[in-house]
């Protein structure tokens, strides 16, 4: 499925505040992500990235301000959202196949009997083919490499035909070559299907090569815009306490 062309923002936060007890984590956060773009959320540990993602997924509710996906609060927009976590923890030896993991992404679309149809299995096969993992559909998920597991999680996120894909530190633990392949694969899907991507990442140099927008978060938005502009801003050394990385943007 190709996402319909639309104007404006798919994802928007306006003056969002959130605290854990007396500890403020997000302070007046406002940002917009245009439809069909790739935005990357960067910032140090403890900057509030995980809390912001939980707000987008509807796990948390802002204590002040608004969060909108497709002009509606999370969970009320009716549009499927794909989510790629850092990984999934399975009990050691749990016999879950690659196909089983991707099929999880169809559970919300199954009927009351909860039995997958031929169409569900066709979509699983199609999604695995898109990430070049169809040949390993019967393999146990736990036996795959870290990079292969992340490709399977992309397929799981894409099997419900989302137009917004949210990624949470998706390249954590991957080597540089695997990170480059991962972002290349995600960007191929974005272009082919008109996806909007929102990715929280510590891999500033890698994600800056692919994103159209960098958002530097340190409890509030310290800088936002094209990667080359954000990385040259004074906010980067102030937030990270070291000079900004030298990144050649192609």
Domain boundaries, the chain: 9-40+61-201
The burial class, CB within 10 Å (0-12 / 13-18 / 19+), for 172 is middle
Q: Is the pLDDT of residue 248 over 60?
A: no
Segment 202-216 shows an average pLDDT of 93
Confidence (pLDDT) at 79: 75
Start-end of H helices in 131-208: 146-158, 176-193, 204-208
> At which residue do the structure tokens 């306006």 appear?
14
Q: Regarding predicted confidence, which is higher, 87 or 20?
A: 20
pLDDT at 174: 85
**What value does the mean pLDDT take over residues 37-44?**
96
Both tokens assigned to 102? 């991707």
pLDDT tier at 14, thresholds 50, 70, 90: very high
Residue 62 vs residues 55, 126, 212, 216: alpha-carbon distances, Å: 7, 37, 27, 20
pLDDT exceeds 90 at position 124: yes
The DSSP secondary-structure symbol of 125 reads H
Residue 159 confidence (pLDDT): 92
Please give the structure tokens belonging to residue 96: 């879950």
Number of alpha carbons in the 13 Å side-chain half-sphere of residue 21: 1
What does the pLDDT look like over 64-91, one tens digit per residue?
Answer: 999 999 999 998 867 779 999 988 877 7
Share the mean pLDDT of the chain: 89
CATH fold of 9-40+61-201 reads: Rossmann fold (3.40.50)
Tell me the pairing of strands 38-42 and 213-218.
parallel
- What pLDDT is attached to residue 99? 95
- Other CB atoms within a 10 A radius of the CB of residue 127 amount to 25
């Amino acid at each position: 499925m190709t996402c319909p062309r639309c104007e404006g923002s798919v994802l928007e936060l306006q003056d969002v505040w959130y605290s854990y007890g007396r500890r403020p984590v997000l302070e007046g956060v406002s940002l917009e992500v245009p439809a069909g773009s790739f935005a990357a959320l960067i910032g140090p540990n403890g900057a509030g990235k995980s809390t912001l993602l939980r707000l987008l997924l509807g796990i948390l509710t802002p204590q002040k301000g608004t969060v909108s996906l497709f002009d509606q609060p999370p969970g009320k927009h009716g549009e499927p959202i794909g989510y790629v976590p850092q990984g999934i923890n399975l009990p050691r030896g749990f016999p879950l196949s690659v196909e089983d993991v991707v099929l999880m992404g169809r559970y919300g679309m199954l009927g009351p009997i909860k039995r997958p149809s031929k169409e569900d299995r066709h979509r699983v096969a199609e999604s695995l083919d898109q990430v070049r993992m169809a040949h390993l559909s019967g393999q146990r998920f736990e036996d795959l490499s870290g990079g292969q597991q992340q490709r399977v999680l992309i397929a799981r996120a894409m099997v419900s035909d989302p137009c917004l894909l949210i990624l949470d530190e998706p390249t954590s633990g991957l080597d540089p070559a695997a990170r480059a392949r991962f972002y290349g694969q995600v960007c191929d899907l974005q272009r082919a299907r008109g996806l909007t991507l929102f990715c929280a990442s510590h891999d500033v140099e890698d994600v800056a090569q692919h994103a159209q927008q960098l958002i530097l978060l340190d409890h509030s938005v310290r800088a936002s815009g094209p990667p080359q502009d954000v990385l040259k801003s004074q906010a980067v050394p102030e937030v990270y306490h070291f000079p900004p990385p030298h990144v050649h943007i192609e």
